[in-house]
Structure 1
Amino acid sequence: MFNYIVIGSGFAGSVIAERIANVLNEKVLIIEKRNHIGGNCYDYKNKDGIIIHKYGPHLFHTDYKDVFDYLSNFTDWNIYHHKVLAFIDGKKVPIPFNLNSLYIVFPQTLARRIEEKLLKRYPYNSKVPILDLKEENDEDLKFLADYVYQKVFLNYTAKQWGLKPEEIDKEVTARVPVFIGKDDRYFTDRYQAIPIEGYSKIFERMLNHKNIKIMLNTDFKEVINIDFENKKIYFLEQEFKGKLIFTGMIDELFDFKYGYLPYRSLDLRFESLEKEWFQEVATVNYPNDYDFTRITEFKHIHPVNLEKTIILREYPKQYTPNKDIPYYPIFTKENQELYNRYREEIEKFENIILVGRLAEYRYYDMDDVVKRALEVFEEKIK
């Protein structure tokens, strides 16, 4: 029998299962409703040898040395610095908006004048929120802030979250940065890399252990029953007194008794093209044109010498429970209160641990969720 059951095999569940198996030398069962491990990080090689990220692009970047070192036990890396362009008024512009971007979108004299003012006012290689620029007593800097807000941020965010521009929280918009430098990389983290054989291989190696058993194609409700009144867990109709690590949707655990937690989802449309390259970089954002938010070309992420390529267009949409994949939690006061109602009930159980994006109803980058899983193991399991 198992002393530990993990629901879900994304990074949160897989890291904890690996630690239980290796550090504690205990048996652990993973229950996964999909037909593969790896959660939304799952990738695969198509018939032409191109590695495809099935659930959208995943770019690893972190400042956590412990996270990078931990994952390096399961993969070798290709150094990869992600670059993003935005299609603005027919031109492709580096994002985050920087000094190079100035010279692409503005006439040279205006670009030079704004650059000189920025460099006089702010340190080189600093990130300045557009709210700070708006508050400057200078018409050129206010103009720049408005331009970045209108052309780069506003419509992209409206598309992504299904909002009207006027509904977008002013606090969020205030943090949109202008980069006072010429570094076109999207991330500035110390470690930026892509697993050489893809993410799925990380999960395969992580979970390839005699102490780990995996049930694929299994909805946890088929094998686990939770008695909320008496605070007991049953596995295959036998009382389970070990620890249950839950990484799925917290509202699903309760049969949505207080209501559904809202998410945004995505309609992902892949296209194969008979050409070597489609675009200059891995990702091009389309803030103001079309219904999709961005196009990703996977060969930039996992290079392969081929006269074919695969692109992905992402169309954001409302999440429909039991039909769509929940991608992004929608952060509002009401949603947080709803989440807290569910969480408070779980805290009455001594042997249920919540970890991960869906269980904690928060957005985690990959490195954050690995860090979180390692911490949860140390603090609540070990």
Structure 2
Amino acid sequence: MAELERPAARIRQGNLVLYATSLKVRDLRQPNFYKIDTLDSDEGTGYQRILNEARAKRLADYLLDGHKALEAFLPTSIFLATDKLLPFEAESNSVRIDSEKVGPFNVVDGQHRIRGLVLAAEKDPSLDEFEIPVNIAVNLDPISQMAHFLIVNTTQRSVDRAIEQQIVARLTDLIEFQKTPVLPKWIQRQVDKGEDARALQIVQFLNAEKESPWFGKIRMANDDDTAGDATINQKSFVTSLKKYVLTPSNPVSGEQWTADRQKKVLANYWRAISGLLVESDDETSVIFKTNGLHMFHSASPAIFLHLANLKDFKTETVSKLLKQAFENLPVEYIGVSTPAFWKRGSTASGLNQAAIRKYATALSTAMHSQPGSDGFSM
């Protein structure tokens, strides 16, 4: 590709240098001009959401129709980034782009607009001359690009909460080892607290551990779950852990509790619940849906307090304690102790959050401590 020279305005925002310019669709269509670093939650790489082809096609259809009448309108700028510098001529206010040297550019914001433009130009080559406003950030390392994606997509418009959790968790892991950009205070607080990172470690373990009742049941960020095995999404599970388990009121949330210990406790806890309340052939139990998740995470502080006093978190001990609590439930709540209550389409399916809280409170009240032994055996 020949080197491009485009009129541009250099913009400095603290340490960030941007060039506000425009590109033609034919520029974007050049090989290796840009790339989209899609989040892979398993590998811990990337940050972009999965491209929605239907959304891009709708934009392409609009552009094709509007272009015929010279009324195609797409004023919002695309945000590209590179970790290299671009030659800038201050006298002529122009920037030179040699994509073989600085590319491919990472698309921080605007992947659907780019895809829609490319699809449209493939059908009508005259759209190659259509110009799109572009902001290009230079000398921006991949971690900063990821952080800027989060800033743009949470301060201006919403990004999927599961992707936000993944990025915040990765920033938490990196914060002590690599330089990161200044983040909005509310994002910085999430990063510093580390709750997303800790919750994600637990969720990933429960979803990947073959002996876990949650094995393969949690749809992680950017997973399409084509097999339909997932019963709940990462966003809901992480949110539930942060709300009920990783809080000062829960005995397993103190500084002495490592992620590995928390993983084992949660795995044993859910194994006991599953063993008592899920029939072996029931693949759709509400135990593994939002109501079951919130119910037993909400009750977990009382249950874990008794287990902590016993210094015993083994599955059989959890099971024994739960059985005793079930026996002490008031008559109006006794149904929660049976698998039938949790079958799809039965009572648990129709409970709202207020009702779930009442059941969780009743279970917490019914808890009684009992002798046990040390251990975290799986």
- TM-score, length of structure 1 as denominator length: 0.21
State which structure, 1 or 2, has the greater radius of gyration over its C-alpha atoms.
Answer: 2
Q: Which protein has the bigger strand share?
A: 1
More contact order relative to length (CA 8 Å, sep ≥ 6): 1
> Between Structure 1 and Structure 2, which shows a larger proportion of helix residues?
2
